[in-house]
Every structure is written in C-alpha cells, then in structure tokens.
C-alpha cells in the first residue's frame, strides 16, 4: 500500500508540474504576470540546458543523465528498510523523481524546459515547479542526513544479503556482508526461528535425560 500511495503522489506531482507549465506557455509568453514590481513575477522562459543554463543545447546528454539518475533513485528507494523512520527519505525520493521526470518530459517532447518563476530582485535564474521539487528535497535530505539520521542508519546502502533455502523449504540462512570502519568486510549470519527451536528442544531433551539418569543412580544407592 505504501508503494502504491507514493506512486500516486509521484503521478500527482508530475501532473501539477505539467499543468503549471501549460498555464505559463498559454498565458505568459507575451505578458509576464508581475506579483511585486522589481521583486517577483511569473514570466515565460525556454531553457534548453540545465539549471542556470548549464550544458545549453546538450539535450540528448541531459536526457541520458536523467534516466541514469532516475534508475539510481529507484534502486535506492527499493533498498530502503521498511522502518517508519525512513518515511521521510521515501517521500523526498518521490519528489526528486517527480521533478526529474517533469523536466524530462519537456526535454523529450519540446527540446527545452519551460521555466516561469522569476525573482527579479536578486536576478535569480528563472525556474519551475519541478526545479523546486528537486532543489528543496535535496536540501532537506542533506539536513536530515546531518542532524537526524546516524551513520548506522545507512548501513543498508553497503550491505548484501544472501539467502539459502533447503530442499524442503523449511530452513534458511541469511548472510550479510557489511563494510567495517577499516574497510574490511564482516560477515553476520542469521538463522530462522525453526532452527533455534530445534536446538533448544535438543538441549532440553539432553538435560531431561541427564536428570533421569541422576535420579536412577540415587535410587540404586538408596536400595
């Protein structure tokens, strides 16, 4: 359910971005909408590069880079543990991916990205809602990484799990290889509850047998 909900968020964020770009293209080409004179306005701008016009005209390269980043973001999302403390990271990744796809759609179908938000007071480069998704989410991710999460919270990024199932499918083992502080690898093994139960039962039987033997010996001596 969580993944489905996040996917719906992802679709809604992209739809909102595309809707605002459509409004900008339809209404702002000739007449910018000034909110505060000399400070802030909505204006129409076609950006055939990345942020601040970097890599202008390199549309194919930007498309390929975006696909690569999206692939990495999806892999990261799927590797995140199910613990609720990671919910913020999941939402952040949804926003980043939505922003990347929003601008990717523009580049694929138009050959440029529609920008329309302009802070004239500081002459900040014109940007759009998708840029807000990516930039603000990235800043929040950095803040959480520095002040909320601990180093051990990100061990899942450097661990590998291997499962071995027996023929009857009842027993399995899981090994995790984790990088320690010195760069060496440490192996941790986890065994399922059925194995532990069998070991405990075997120990109990041995203890019971020992107790019975001791009781028999005492009875023989008494006789």
Distance CA 73, CA 80 (A): 11
115 classed as catalytic = yes
Catalytically annotated residue among 106, 131, 153, 171: 131
The two three-digit tokens of residue 118, written as one number:
């302009």
Distance CA 157, CA 167 (A): 31
Nearest to 122 by CA among 19, 195, 36: 36
CB distance 112 to 106 below 8 Å: yes
Distance CA 116, CA 45 (A): 6
131 classed as catalytic = yes
Catalytically annotated residue among 17, 106, 115, 213: 115
CB contact set of 98 (below 8 Å; sequence gap of 6+): 9, 10, 13, 14, 17, 130, 133
Q: Which residues are catalytic?
A: 115, 131
């Amino acid at each position: 359910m969580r993944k489905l909900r996040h996917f719906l968020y992802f679709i809604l964020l992209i739809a909102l971005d595309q809707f605002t770009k459509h409004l900008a293209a339809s209404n702002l080409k000739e007449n910018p909408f000034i909110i505060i004179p000399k400070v802030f306005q909505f204006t129409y701008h076609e950006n055939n590069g990345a942020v601040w016009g970097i890599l202008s005209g390199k549309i194919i390269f930007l498309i390929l880079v975006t696909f690569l980043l999206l692939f990495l973001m999806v892999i990261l999302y799927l590797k995140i543990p199910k613990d609720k403390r990671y919910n913020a990271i999941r939402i952040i990744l949804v926003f980043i991916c939505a922003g990347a796809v929003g601008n990717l759609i523009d580049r694929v179908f138009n050959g440029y990205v529609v920008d329309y938000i302009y802070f004239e007071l500081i002459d900040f480069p014109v940007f759009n809602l998708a840029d807000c998704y990516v930039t603000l989410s990235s800043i929040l991710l950095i803040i959480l990484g520095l002040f909320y999460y601990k180093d051990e919270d990100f061990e899942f990024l450097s661990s590998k799990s291997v499962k071995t199932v027996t023929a009857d499918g009842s027993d399995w083992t899981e090994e995790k290889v984790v990088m320690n502080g010195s760069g060496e690898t440490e192996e941790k093994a986890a065994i399922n509850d059925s194995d532990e139960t069998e070991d405990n039962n075997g120990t109990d039987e041995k203890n019971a047998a020992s107790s019975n033997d001791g009781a028999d010996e005492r009875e023989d001596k008494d006789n």
